[in-house]
Structure formats: C-alpha cells, structure tokens
Homo-oligomer: A and B are copies of this chain.
Amino acid sequence: MEPIYIRIFKDIEAKILSGDWRPGDRIPREHDLVDDYGCSRMTVSKALTALVERGLVVRKRKTGSFVAAPQINRTVMDIQDIGTAATLAGYEHRHEILTRKIETLGPVEAAQLNSIAGVEILRIHCLHIVDGKPTAVERRIILLDTVPLARTESFVGAPPAKWLLSQVPWSKAKHVIRAVSADAATARILKIDRGDPCLNLIRQTWQNDRMVTYVEITHPGDRFQFAGIFHPAESALRQQP
C-alpha cells in the first residue's frame, strides 16, 4: 500500500507534467487537499514540500501554492541556456534563425533518436551571438506531436531553448558532452578554422515518455565553456528568504 503523501505527490506531479495544470496556475489549498484525500494537513504538507523540493511548486503564505515556472535548475542544465548565461555574465546576446522547416522524421534519424519515423518535426538551425561573436550553432528538432504550438512559433522573440522551457516541463533529459573538430559547415558559420576544437552538447528531452526535442549545440572551444558551482546542501533545505 502506497503512502498517502506519495499518492498526493504523484497525482499533482502528473497534473503538472501532463500540462493539465500550467505554470502559474494555482493548485488547491492545503485545506482542500485535506478534504479531497481525507487525510491530515501534515500529510498534505509533506507532499507539497516534496513538490517544492522537486521544483514543480512554489508556496506562498496567504496567497497559496502555484505551479512553478519550469526551470533548468539542476545538474548540467544550469549551464546551458546560452542567453541567460551570457546575460548573467554581463554580455549582450542575440540569436538568428538560420533555417526553419517542417519535415517528417526519416528512418535513420528516428532510430538514432529512439523515436518513430514519419512523425512531423520542426527542424531549426539557429546561431547564437554573444558579445558580437558567433558562439554557438544550435541544430534542433522539435516533435510537433508533443508541442503543437511550435508549428506557428517563429522563435524570433525568444530562442528555441527558452521558448520550449516556458511551454513544456520536462520529466527526463539525456545529455552528452563531447569535444569534436569543426566540420566545414560549422567552421563557416562560427567563423573558425576547420578542425578547430569545439564543445559539442547533445540534449534530448522527454515529457512523460513522449519526446519533446533533440538538440545539438556546437561551441567554438575557445569561446565557450560550461561552468557551475554546486552546493549539494542548498537543495535539501529551502528556508524562505
């Protein structure tokens, strides 16, 4: 028999991850959940505390509890929203959409992504420019099945990573980081020499086992690095500021 607080946790998590409750939505008050589940407030509170810890919920006295804005707040992901990182470091950042087209996923790529051939995808190539210098090429595939709104999104206002994050909470992410030599096309776009070392990041994201996006980001080795400071303690205890 599953503990009640875990049932509550999973129920709410499911509502959020499925997109049923969207970022900013208010979630039921503790008292209502007490009524719904027929349990004590401590039990509800335990579930909500875990959801805050998980990063899906924010709570505020008097106002209530809300679905949190999805955030890349853990693990490597911290490092990888180029725009935010650049802004934080005090640099000016802009991006250019190089190509943007709707296709169907071919069999080879489907196998590679562990997805199914024939589904509709949006393929985007995007260049990131930080401090006036080309700093990353982003080659991305978005599954239109999972994110239908992407079909009409131009990505001019916010780059794909940022836009996606505001649309879809992720439940699983896979990363690969490697060093590669620049191929001809990449070298031309980034204005570096062929063969120069590049930092290559691949990220694939799922929402409840439905693939959301696959992206490969290539940085010139001399113009970018991933950096992060980790205090493992911080996450466990979160006193209000």
Give the interface of A toward B (CB within 8 A). 3, 6, 9, 13, 42, 50-51, 53-55, 74-77, 170-181, 195-200, 219, 221, 224-233, 235-237, 239
Contacts and interface: CB of A to CB of B under 8 A. Distances in A.
A74 B232 CA distance: 8
A157 to B, nearest CB: 27
A18 to B, nearest CB: 14
Given A76-B230, A172-B229, A235-B235, 17 more contacts: A6-B237, A53-B236, A54-B233, A75-B232, A171-B233, A173-B230, A174-B227, A175-B229, A176-B225, A176-B227, A177-B225, A178-B225, A179-B179, A179-B200, A181-B221, A195-B195, A196-B197
A155 B229 CA distance: 27
The secondary structure that dominates the A interface is mixed
Contacts of A229: 172-175
A75 B74 CA distance: 7
A69 to B, nearest CB: 14
Given A171-B232, A171-B233, A236-B51, A178 B199 contact: yes
Given A75-B74, A195-B195, A233-B13, A226 B53 contact: no
A227 B175 contact: yes
Given A75-B75, A76-B76, A239-B6, A177 B226 contact: yes
Q: Which 9 A-B pairs have CB atoms at the shortest separation, nearest pair first?
A: A179-B221, A197-B197, A54-B236, A178-B225, A179-B199, A179-B179, A177-B226, A179-B197, A53-B236
23 contacts: A42-B42, A54-B236, A54-B237, A55-B232, A74-B230, A74-B232, A75-B75, A75-B232, A77-B230, A171-B232, A172-B231, A174-B228, A174-B229, A174-B230, A175-B228, A177-B177, A178-B224, A178-B226, A179-B197, A179-B198, A179-B200, A181-B196, A196-B197
A232 to B, nearest CB: 6
A228 B227 CA distance: 16
